[in-house]
Amino acid sequence: MPAPRSNSPAAALDTLTSSIRIKLRVPARQRNVELVLLVFALLIDAGAIILVQLGASGAIDTGFLMLTSGLALLTLIMHVVLRIVARDADPLILPIVTVLNGLGIAMIYRLDIANEDSGWDGGGVRQMVWTGLAIAIAIVVVLVIRNHRVLQRYRYVAMFSGIVLLLLPMLPIIGTTINGARLWIQVGSFTFQPGELGKIALAIFFAGYLVSARDSLSMVGRKFLWMTFPRARDLGPILVVFAASMAVLIFQKDLGTSLLYFGLFLVMLYVATGRASWIVLGLSLFLIGAVAAYSQLSYVTGRVHAWLNPFATENYEGMGGSYQLVTGLFGFAHGGLVGTGLGQGRPDLIPLAESDYIIPALGEELGLIGIFAILGLYLLFVSRGFRIAFAGQDDFGRLLGVGLSFVIALQVFIVIGGVTRVIPLTGLTTPFLAAGGSSLVANWIIAALLLRLSDTVRNEPTRAVIEP
């Protein structure tokens, strides 16, 4: 038989002492692990920049290293902030994004050296400035949002904000077209891609909407074969998102963003309802849209032809291959298993190597082993996000965690699948690695939201055990 509980003052004191230990020691251990990994990540980033300088120019630029130390200090400040306001936050997320961001800066700086543009107005310095701004915004997010459930109250505000951010590039005054896609707004010399922030707003709205509408979307419908399909009236949300995705594809000429938005909603819908029929309906709509876009939109047709025949000088209907795709594949081949070494390859031969094709640039100089290490970091980041999501006790937090993590996973798949010729090239940026201020800011906000979510999730069972 179990021993009877003691109500003596000594037993109460022991319970209080154990509660204090749980509250103080466990968070301290989490943050100490984060600090050790963060220092290791910063050393990797600094080593990569030094190797780039020695390999490409044969000398060390102390000025650029001083800028790097400033970013390292800002990252350590974020660690201190987490110690104060989010002591239970996941200890792996910040080191992972730090090392990815640093490797991206090192490769962009390496391309600047190859293009003789390594001064203060080069792409590497701009990327460092954007990184500093992104980390500062992430710190503000952690400080301002003390509980992720607050975001559920503003789900319709998030919906309106996401739609506005999505449509801003269509305005004739500030909208501008870059590399064939109308995804940017420009004010003077300042350009920004609002759709990057729109994906976060839409993830918040999808999570809030699906929590309230989950019952009607998952329990009601007609059964056909082994699946239960939703009623016609419940198809509205997926049709609206499908229409918005097709509008992005048609009017903004961006295949990647269209696929990202639709894939995000479809996965969150499946996680919320558990219905395989939603996946069947979503994939059916995607196939219909893909066939229609291929037959009616010339730039989609060209990308598919370039994907199927990248080495062709001219294939049927007068469309040629893809010089960018071919040079990227040659870069992978030149790097081989271990790579040429940082600063020793020719990634500058690849068009847009600092943005769309930064993975082949890294693959040439870091080799297959280096690319696998980068993919392992992405896999670890996404898995930690899913782990945070499914450890939560509230449905909104679970859906939000899944949505934010899946955005990164799907974006990585679309980018790397395109440059390796698994799927047609779409033109999205590689999270944390590629040049682009709007992408950096959005992805650091995602990391900050996951940190806040993990802190809330890990505090829930502690309160349930300790508090009366």
Domain definitions of the chain by residue range: 150-291
What pLDDT shows up at residue 21? 45
Around 89, how many Cα atoms within 13 Å sit in the side-chain half-sphere?
A: 29
Question: Would you say 389 and 148 are in contact if contact means Cβ atoms under 8 Å apart?
Answer: no
pTM: 0.87
What pLDDT shows up at residue 10? 54
Question: Would you say 89 and 454 are in contact if contact means Cβ atoms under 8 Å apart?
Answer: yes
**Dist. CA 96–CA 38, nearest whole Å:** 8
What pLDDT shows up at residue 306? 84
Structure token pair of residue 174? 């500030």
Per-run averaged pLDDT (10 residues), the chain, 468 residues = 50 49 57 93 94 88 86 94 92 96 94 79 87 95 90 86 81 73 72 84 87 68 57 63 71 75 84 78 81 80 84 59 87 92 90 89 94 96 93 87 93 92 85 90 95 86 39
Question: Would you say 405 and 450 are in contact if contact means Cβ atoms under 8 Å apart?
Answer: yes
**Dist. CA 393–CA 386, nearest whole Å:** 14
Residue 170 is given by DSSP the state G
Q: Which of 445, 363, 366, 364 is nearest to 404 (CA)?
A: 445
What pLDDT shows up at residue 8? 56
What pLDDT shows up at residue 102? 95
What pLDDT shows up at residue 464? 38
